[in-house]
Structure 1
Amino acid sequence: MNPPLMTAWTNPNVMPRRDHEPHVLHQGDRVWQETNCYVDLWIELLHGLGLDPRPAFAFTVTQDFEGDQFTFFKFPLEDIERLYGVQVQELAIYDSLEDRVFAQTQRGHTVLVEVDGHYLPNTRATSYRRDHPKTTIGIDFIDPVRHRLGYFHNTGYHHLEGEDYDGVFRKLPQFCGQPDLLFPYVEFAKNARPALEGAALAEASAELLCAHLARRPMRNPVSMWREVFPEHLERLLTRGESYFHLYSFNLMRQLGANFEFLSKYLLWLAAQGYDVPASIPAAAQQIASEAMVMQFRLVRAVTRKRHDLCQDCFDVLEAAYERTMSPLAALAP
């Protein structure tokens, strides 16, 4: 098990490098290599604590179409606590974000904080020093004297220092003289009790699946998306490629990644001895693959200003959803 916290650096001139390899969910043959910052963060945070995140993906059966986007799927914190004994609370930031992060990491906790991706060097390929996206990181190492910290983000564990540190904590000159600047939303995760293991973990996860299946959408969410897609397509063609990237993240990626994780979860559950027919995780994985196909088709349509209602993609997605959820729900008591 990797240690959850190092309270100090043994060499004052070297940034410590945590021995952290990405979880298997972030390696190998994946259709959607990244999903959303919160889910990817928790995968690596749990993995960093020596825990397997796969049992916590029962909630993915609840994803719905929300009218303009698919549910931004996130681990329910009550599921995290039940399975792993990791309790998450909101952290009050009553004077200095830096001071509060330091206080919690000194207690062995990980602080989950919304920051400006502009200052995260692990995002060099996307937003680093270019854009200002909001994203969540999990900080477990901080050195306020040398302005260094270590953090979980996306598919791995990273570190930053210097001006990036000052940017994350809003200590740069451009942030001075702004007394009305809001504090970010911050949580902290602490190990409140031992994690479940073995058969007890699998049983609790299966119980969560049954509970979440009772909360699944009443209608096929892909069908609901299909009904409004012509209007969405008109907006895409009008607003162009920059808007397409926002759209695809909140629709194709959230749908595809959610069901890819559901597929991985069901394969894990089957490996624990539960009777899950192979056709169900295969159908969930087909949703992941077809959502990617649709993303490629749409970007071509937007680039060429061509109407493409993606009817055959919707046919595949709708049918795969039914082949996933209906037999899965039938297995629940």
Structure 2
Amino acid sequence: MTAVTESNGAAVRTEAPFGTEVLAVRGCEPLTAADVPRSVLHDPAEPWSPTNCYTDVWIGLTAALGLDPVPMLGAAFSADFLGDQWEFLKPRQEDLEALYGLTVGEYDTWRPLGEHLQLAMSRGDALIVEVDAFHLPDTEGVSYRIEHTKTSIVPLRLDPLAGELVYLHNDGVHVLRGEDLENTLGPGARDGRVPYPYVELVRLSGLKRLPPRELWQHTIELVRGHLRRAPDSGGAADGPAQRLVTSIREHLPELAERGMDYFHLYSFATTRQAGLTSGLAAHACRYLAAGAAQWPSDLDAEQLLEAAEAFDAAAGAAKTLQFQLARAARGRTPRVDTSAEAFVAGHTAGMHAVREALGLGE
């Protein structure tokens, strides 16, 4: 798409990759980066906020739409250790549709990305887009103009004439301008780390706002489904928490050999994912407990609060374990036994208590 301007009396055609109209996700039209609602899950006091880029944009998007993101966290209870990494936590598409009426699916980017962005936002829909963090100013000091790495964002409001995009990334809402905008979502993206990004379309046409009690009841059934598919957490050698720490112990010599660059990659895939999953599981437990205290049900609110405390302990232990892995990567001798055992104990106790609270105990 192009725009025509005049320069010294001659017609000049210039690219307008985002068109000329102000566009926004439905319900986000008046929002600025300063007034987008923020979830408690993105409180700076949270030990694992930001979480991971995909879960973060869903936390941010649901909060921006005036929805409670906590009910969508059921997938935290079915996360597993996959041998070389803890499962990357993502809200499940079927959960998002059941709770909020939001439908999500892969979106084929067969045209320039800017055109797809215009079309989706003109309908009020949202796109979750993989981009190169090298061009995201909110990653200053980490990736911005330093390192090319993939991450996910959600554009909320686009003003092409002002050259500004309000977008969600990590635990905040930010503004992208000028050259950074061109290189992230415009023609310049074709020359970057993510020339053909993976994109998901979030359709808002079916958006629903369930009454609090009905939302809570839906959440109970979704959590039960996740608990039924969850791996064994009985504390035996085949439980996910135990398998993680066993793998970490075996990996300590390689960390010492390969240093800090390797540590950052390794810890993101292991202790970080395990810690944030545990922390979000704790929030889900407290949400279920609050409902059980308010409305009649067969849930045990006290056991749910015990589960939340256990998951919080696991999240904290994973943070300590991550610090100790950094010591190993610097060539020091880490003492990981206490934190490793605390993570296993917390995660195992949390899973046991939430199963019991929801009537799924053995």
TM-score using structure 2 length: 0.83
2:285 paired residue number = 266
Q: Shift of residue 226 of structure 1?
A: 2.8
Distance in 2 (CA, whole Å) between partners of 1:148 and 1:44 is 19
1:184 paired residue number = 197
Q: Shift of residue 22 of structure 1?
A: 2.1
Greater RCO (CA < 8 Å, at least 6 residues apart): 1
Structure 1 residues 174, 193: CA separation in 2 closer, same or farther (over 3 Å shift)?
Answer: closer
CA shift digits 1:243-300 (9 cap, x unpaired): 1111111111111111111101111111112423222110000000001111112212
Q: Shift of residue 173 of structure 1?
A: 9.6
Structure 1 residues 210, 110: CA separation in 2 closer, same or farther (over 3 Å shift)?
Answer: same
Pick aligned residue for 1:325 from 341, 348, 351: 351
Q: Shift of residue 325 of structure 1?
A: 1.0
CA shift digits 1:172-211 (9 cap, x unpaired): 39839xxxx8521111212214232211100000000111
Whether 1:285 aligns to 2:312 is yes
2:7 paired residue number = none
Deviates more, 1:316-325 or 1:256-265: 316-325
Distance in 1 (CA, whole Å) between partners of 2:343 and 2:141 is 30
Whether 1:242 aligns to 2:265 is no
Number of positions where the alignment pairs a residue of Structure 1 with one of Structure 2: 321
2:321 paired residue number = 294
SS in 1 for 2:344: helix
2:3 paired residue number = none
Q: Which amino acid is 2:340 matched to?
A: F
Distance in 2 (CA, whole Å) between partners of 1:332 and 1:269 is 10
SS in 1 for 2:82: coil
Distance in 2 (CA, whole Å) between partners of 1:173 and 1:246 is 24
Q: Which amino acid is 1:22 matched to?
A: R
1:105 paired residue number = 121
Q: Which amino acid is 1:189 matched to?
A: V
Q: How does 1:19-34 map to 2 (within 5 A)?
A: 19-27=35-43, 29-34=45-50
Structure 1 residues 49, 230: CA separation in 2 closer, same or farther (over 3 Å shift)?
Answer: same
Would the aligned equivalents of 1:259 and 1:288 in 2 still touch at CA under 8 Å?
yes
Whether 1:83 aligns to 2:99 is yes
Distance in 1 (CA, whole Å) between partners of 2:291 and 2:220 is 10
Distance in 1 (CA, whole Å) between partners of 2:262 and 2:189 is 32
Distance in 1 (CA, whole Å) between partners of 2:127 and 2:248 is 39
Distance in 2 (CA, whole Å) between partners of 1:326 and 1:268 is 17
Q: Which amino acid is 2:196 matched to?
A: F
Distance in 2 (CA, whole Å) between partners of 1:92 and 1:243 is 33
1:154 paired residue number = 170
1:118 paired residue number = 134
Q: Shift of residue 18 of structure 1?
A: 5.8
Whether 1:64 aligns to 2:89 is no
Would the aligned equivalents of 1:229 and 1:309 in 2 still touch at CA under 8 Å?
no
Task: Tell me the percent identity.
Answer: 33
Distance in 2 (CA, whole Å) between partners of 1:165 and 1:105 is 16
Would the aligned equivalents of 1:120 and 1:128 in 2 still touch at CA under 8 Å?
yes
Q: Shift of residue 140 of structure 1?
A: 2.4
Distance in 1 (CA, whole Å) between partners of 2:318 and 2:191 is 41
Would the aligned equivalents of 1:32 and 1:257 in 2 still touch at CA under 8 Å?
yes
1:171 paired residue number = 187
Distance in 2 (CA, whole Å) between partners of 1:249 and 1:309 is 20
1:13 paired residue number = none
Would the aligned equivalents of 2:33 and 2:173 in 1 still touch at CA under 8 Å?
no
Deviates more, 1:134-143 or 1:75-84: 134-143
Would the aligned equivalents of 2:260 and 2:326 in 1 still touch at CA under 8 Å?
yes
Pick aligned residue for 1:51 from 58, 64, 67: 67
TM-score using structure 1 length: 0.90
Distance in 2 (CA, whole Å) between partners of 1:163 and 1:300 is 39
SS in 1 for 2:229: coil
Distance in 2 (CA, whole Å) between partners of 1:297 and 1:80 is 36
SS in 1 for 2:183: helix
Distance in 1 (CA, whole Å) between partners of 2:356 and 2:221 is 14
Q: Can you give the 5+ residue segments of structure 1 that lack an aligned partner in the other structure? A: 10-15
SS in 2 for 1:214: helix
Structure 1 residues 323, 173: CA separation in 2 closer, same or farther (over 3 Å shift)?
Answer: closer
Pick aligned residue for 1:224 from 217, 236, 243: 243
Structure 1 residues 102, 62: CA separation in 2 closer, same or farther (over 3 Å shift)?
Answer: same
Structure 1 residues 241, 183: CA separation in 2 closer, same or farther (over 3 Å shift)?
Answer: same
2:221 paired residue number = 207
Q: Which amino acid is 1:240 matched to?
A: G
Distance in 1 (CA, whole Å) between partners of 2:163 and 2:171 is 23
Q: How does 1:3-14 map to 2 (within 5 A)?
A: 4-6=27-29
1:275 paired residue number = 300
Distance in 1 (CA, whole Å) between partners of 2:86 and 2:230 is 13
Distance in 2 (CA, whole Å) between partners of 1:182 and 1:167 is 10
Q: Which amino acid is 2:329 matched to?
A: V
SS in 2 for 1:131: coil
